[in-house]
Structure 1
Amino acid sequence: MLEPAYQADVVVVGAGVAGLSAAHRLISAGVTTAVLEAAPYAGGRMSTEKVDGFRLDRIGQLLSTAYPELELTPGLDALVLRSFAPGVLLHSDGRHHRAGTPAGGRSARGALHAVRALASAPRPPTAPRLRASGTLRPAVVRPRSGAPLGTAVDQARLGPALARIAGMPVQRLLARPEQPAAQALAARGLPARTVDGFLRPLLAALLCDPDLTTSSRCADLALRAFAAGRLCLPEGGAEALPELLARTLPPGTLHTGVRVTSVSTSAVTTAEHGRIRCRAVLLATDARAAAALLPGLRVPDFHPVTVVHHTMDEAPSTGGHLLLDADRGGPVAHTSVISRVDPSRAPAGRTLVSSTVLGTPPAEVDTAVRIHLSRLYGTSTSRWETLAVHHTAEAVPAMRPPHDLRRTVRLLAGLYVCGDHRDTSTVQGALHSAHRAASAVLTDLGATRPAPRTAPDPEAEAA
């Protein structure tokens, strides 16, 4: 028998959320698709470790209910999102201050409002410091004066400024001059205390960029999503999203443990199964793996992320808020009692606190994080149990200006690429780049695109 001219219409290389969501769109249009993944499991960087009944994300990027692709992507109908309490908590001078949106999730497109301090957090008179020997000794905490949001007048100016971003059409927002985010914020007339005490820690958490070197356009998109929706996480851990996409693909579509060694417009070569012929190839790997297969593709810089997970007997009294340090008094960029947000991430009766360190972590990261957390939560952390410390050196692609928000996904007829490195460095960006790449493949193959799941929203499409 003659061998077939090709063994699949499209071969997708990489089974992260971009590759899996692109495969769903292609299959929905009647295009035979094979997804090849070198790892023994799907998901890429969206992975979750299981330890004694706890579900611990390795990176734990924050999602937003305002991400349109979470609703538009085929295969995610059953995705359950667990929302943080509205807004965020800011820790400053031993107190917790809340800044957030009115309740209502995605419909909350009105002004962000800053409210006065919720309560005085019980702060010990001293906080522990690491001795040279590695033991803890007390050290005096020097408070800083002023609220993280500035005066009442400053807060009154902040609300309308964020409201304008929340309601601004995306195309108009993207037409603004592009600068590093820190420089753009300083030039917009907001008080330095408001920028440093609220916007900087918030954007650092959303972009994984503590120095705010990110393009101001990407920062504005992040602020817009924050204002228009609620911060959230997938129920069961970050891996729930790729697992759901993989589980709802037709049987035989996904092949794990298959390492691709070369690609062309009509075939891929694998270490395990030789050459696989096709009509088109879609690279959906991370940026470095894509450049290894296609020399010449740009490899961006990356933001390293370290996530430290603890459990303790009694949960801190911060509810389901995301807690930020307005004073930047330690390595922790943001932390939360994650089991309050998503109870499925901890065994019944147990508490899970997950904390994120951005940039290069300190040498004794767990000790430094404990010291910082004792101030942020106003309680001793000496008896907290460390469950895991996950460091990812290339966690999030940097988006420094000039940043092309719509980097081309069609390299040649028959050769395409997608991922968060082609869009914004978020789950929304990864899914949207997959949407664009699948559309380009279908156009070139002359295939019929599936009908949209929801009525088209020009603003959401642009986002």
Structure 2
Amino acid sequence: MLEPAYQADVVVVGAGVAGLAAAHRLTSAGVTTTVLEAAHGVGGRMATEKVDGFRLDRIGQLLSTAYPELRLTPALDGLALLPFAPGVLLHSEGRRHRAGAPAGAGGARGALHAVRALASAPRSVPAPRRLVPVPKAPRSQVPVPRSRPGAPLGSAVDQARLTAALTRLAGTPVERLLARPELPAAQALAVRGLPARTIDGFLRPLLAALLCDPDLTASSRCADLALHAFAGGRLCVPEGGAEALPELLARTLPPGTVRTGVRVTSVATNAVTTAEHGVVRCRAVLVATDARAAAELLPGLRVPEFLPVTVVHHTTDDPPATGAALLLDADRGGPVAHTAVVSHVDPSRAPAGRALVSSTVLGPPPSDADTAVRIHLSRLYGTSTARWETLAVHHAAEAVPAMRPPHDLRRPVRLLAGLYVCGDHRDTSTVQGALHSGHRASAAILADLGVNRSMHTADPVPSAHAA
């Protein structure tokens, strides 16, 4: 139990990924740190429910192996990232089409050569494999969509233009992306020069999945960062469920650092007051809760709008033959934005002999979500879902903060000396944004405490993705 007289250099309020990442950097710099969490577990929205041997994520956020903070955050070098098959599958007009991320391709000429070379090659869905991190594919193995009549990406020339654009984007410095004029993402796509078919058939459904924003109202800079990560890495999930990331961070902190079941009622620059254990005195306080809880502790802090997300989990003993692919609906013919046989990506998420199909609905859910999702999945996978068993329907009305323009990708984390704030509402509404905000906050705290931090300098810019 936490004693009322317990002293620490820094008290972190909230054991989500931002607060835990900050605690790692603080403790590694020799700063005594206590993390107080009101819930009885860590991770916040990165929670995984266990049901009859299944591991069900409550919010199906997608990660990318290109996220810098997954490499820079202490302790995450032990995180197992399991990638989806390269690129995505697009469902359009009753057919599925492969669309890949051309990391490492040699510009427009190489992209066009790759499209022509693969036009007669057999399609295959790669088996799931474990890698941390994912190495760049050789140029000859860059996945590129096949050209076929009616494909959502258009003609072979259109696909080559898209491949070249993604290749250039993967190699563009982040600072140049952030210097572009800011527009709503949907409006920015319309003026980028790509064919309307490519935008509607590929970029819209992809960005909707990455940003959890079906209407693409997010800042075009956030969209560019999401595409930058997609083009430069692989979409992936943590082995064992989303909770694996925060639990790894918590488990590798010094023993006794994280205290769960402790509700903080007020904060100051040199103390926090808890409902259970009175006042805990310290030299600095970092509020690392979600945006709404942070505003309750820090009056005047802006509360953003939020985007709702619903995740529906089904199981079957006869899974669709899509392998480890992420499947998007290019036609937007139902409530499902993206779906996957997640147990093909991460076998630990389902018991032997069963498959786990996880599907994400963006925006307000339909009145009978499970029925509407089943009907849509039957079309997307081309199979009956009547015998699929529903394991859970998780709806989060405030799943991720909206990032509508103008969106400050680096909102201040230092409110005044001794009082700081971090979370995905301070950067981008992604795991990368949450980790990066914790990185920035810990750097500010160490600077104010006068701690030499030459080995822990914060990355100057964020990189985005969602879920």
CA contact (8 A) 2:103 2:170 kept: no
Of the candidates 415, 421, 426, which is equivalent to residue 425 of structure 2?
421
1:66 is matched with: 66
Q: Offset at 1:460?
A: 7.7
Which one is further off, 246-255 or 319-328?
A: 246-255
CA contact (8 A) 1:47 1:58 kept: yes
1:384 is matched with: 388
* Whole-Å separation in 1 of the counterparts to 2:231 and 2:192: 18
In the TM superposition, what are the counterparts of 1:137-176 in structure 2 within 5 Å? 146-176=150-180
2:378 is matched with: 374
What secondary structure, in the 3-state scheme, does the structure 2 residue paired with 1:107 have? coil
Q: Offset at 1:107?
A: 2.4
Residue type at the aligned position of 2:363: G
Residue type at the aligned position of 2:224: D
What's the CA shift string for 1:5-32, capped at 9, x where partnerless?
9711000000000011101110011111
1:133 is matched with: none
Q: Offset at 1:190?
A: 1.0
* Whole-Å separation in 2 of the counterparts to 1:457 and 1:163: 27
Identity %: 80
Residue type at the aligned position of 1:268: V
* Whole-Å separation in 2 of the counterparts to 1:381 and 1:6: 56
What's the CA shift string for 1:328-385, capped at 9, x where partnerless?
0000000000000000000112100000000000000000000000000000000000
Count residues with an aligned counterpart.
Answer: 432
The answer as to 2:433 corresponding to 1:412 is: no
Residue type at the aligned position of 1:363: S
* Whole-Å separation in 2 of the counterparts to 1:60 and 1:462: 19
In structure 2, do the counterparts of structure 1 residues 361 and 112 end up closer, same or farther at CA, with 3 Å as the change threshold? farther
Q: Offset at 1:315?
A: 1.1
CA contact (8 A) 1:39 1:258 kept: yes
* Whole-Å separation in 2 of the counterparts to 1:6 and 1:445: 19
CA contact (8 A) 2:423 2:438 kept: yes
CA contact (8 A) 1:205 1:333 kept: yes
Q: Offset at 1:152?
A: 2.0
The answer as to 2:14 corresponding to 1:10 is: no
What's the CA shift string for 1:234-266, capped at 9, x where partnerless?
000000001111111111111111111100101
* Whole-Å separation in 2 of the counterparts to 1:286 and 1:164: 35
* Whole-Å separation in 2 of the counterparts to 1:113 and 1:321: 13
* Whole-Å separation in 1 of the counterparts to 2:459 and 2:250: 29
In structure 2, do the counterparts of structure 1 residues 288 and 159 end up closer, same or farther at CA, with 3 Å as the change threshold? same
The answer as to 2:244 corresponding to 1:240 is: yes
1:199 is matched with: 203
Of the candidates 248, 253, 257, which is equivalent to residue 249 of structure 1?
253
In structure 2, do the counterparts of structure 1 residues 413 and 108 end up closer, same or farther at CA, with 3 Å as the change threshold? farther
Q: Offset at 1:309?
A: 0.3
In structure 2, do the counterparts of structure 1 residues 315 and 71 end up closer, same or farther at CA, with 3 Å as the change threshold? same
Of the candidates 211, 220, 224, which is equivalent to residue 220 of structure 1?
224
Q: Offset at 1:193?
A: 1.0
CA contact (8 A) 2:290 2:423 kept: yes
CA contact (8 A) 1:109 1:227 kept: no
* Whole-Å separation in 1 of the counterparts to 2:460 and 2:348: 34
In structure 2, do the counterparts of structure 1 residues 274 and 109 end up closer, same or farther at CA, with 3 Å as the change threshold? farther
In structure 2, do the counterparts of structure 1 residues 28 and 458 end up closer, same or farther at CA, with 3 Å as the change threshold? closer
* Whole-Å separation in 2 of the counterparts to 1:458 and 1:18: 15
What secondary structure, in the 3-state scheme, does the structure 1 residue paired with 2:367 have? coil
Q: Offset at 1:39?
A: 0.5
* Whole-Å separation in 1 of the counterparts to 2:391 and 2:320: 17
In structure 2, do the counterparts of structure 1 residues 6 and 382 end up closer, same or farther at CA, with 3 Å as the change threshold? closer
The answer as to 2:319 corresponding to 1:315 is: yes
* Whole-Å separation in 1 of the counterparts to 2:460 and 2:145: 30
* Whole-Å separation in 2 of the counterparts to 1:458 and 1:292: 29
TM-score (norm 2): 0.89
Q: Offset at 1:112?
A: 7.4
1:432 is matched with: 436
2:136 is matched with: 107
Q: Offset at 1:146?
A: 2.9
1:30 is matched with: 30
Q: Offset at 1:449?
A: 2.1
Q: Offset at 1:101?
A: 2.7
Residue type at the aligned position of 1:393: A
Q: Offset at 1:34?
A: 0.6
What's the CA shift string for 1:6-64, capped at 9, x where partnerless?
71100000000001110111001111111000001111000000000000000020000
Q: Offset at 1:161?
A: 1.4
1:363 is matched with: 367
* Whole-Å separation in 2 of the counterparts to 1:280 and 1:214: 34
Q: Offset at 1:154?
A: 1.5
What secondary structure, in the 3-state scheme, does the structure 2 residue paired with 1:395 have? strand
Residue type at the aligned position of 1:353: V
Which one is further off, 68-77 or 426-435?
A: 68-77
What secondary structure, in the 3-state scheme, does the structure 2 residue paired with 1:389 have? strand
CA contact (8 A) 1:59 1:390 kept: yes
1:348 is matched with: 352
In structure 2, do the counterparts of structure 1 residues 429 and 458 end up closer, same or farther at CA, with 3 Å as the change threshold? closer
What's the CA shift string for 1:94-152, capped at 9, x where partnerless?
1110111358945259797642279xxxxxxxxxxxxxxxxxxxxxxxxxx93210122
* Whole-Å separation in 2 of the counterparts to 1:49 and 1:317: 26
Residue type at the aligned position of 1:43: G
1:96 is matched with: 96
* Whole-Å separation in 1 of the counterparts to 2:445 and 2:353: 49
Q: Offset at 1:158?
A: 1.1
In structure 2, do the counterparts of structure 1 residues 60 and 413 end up closer, same or farther at CA, with 3 Å as the change threshold? same
2:41 is matched with: 41
* Whole-Å separation in 2 of the counterparts to 1:113 and 1:12: 43
In structure 2, do the counterparts of structure 1 residues 229 and 380 end up closer, same or farther at CA, with 3 Å as the change threshold? same
Residue type at the aligned position of 2:36: L
CA contact (8 A) 2:439 2:458 kept: no
Gap runs ≥5 in structure 2: 105-133
What's the CA shift string for 1:431-463, capped at 9, x where partnerless?
0000000000000001122625xxx99798777
* Whole-Å separation in 2 of the counterparts to 1:458 and 1:400: 24
Residue type at the aligned position of 1:178: E
Residue type at the aligned position of 2:255: P
Of the candidates 448, 451, 460, which is equivalent to residue 444 of structure 1?
448
CA contact (8 A) 1:29 1:450 kept: no
TM-score (norm 1): 0.90
Residue type at the aligned position of 1:29: A
What's the CA shift string for 1:165-212, capped at 9, x where partnerless?
111111111100000000000001111111010000000000000000
What secondary structure, in the 3-state scheme, does the structure 2 residue paired with 1:77 have? helix
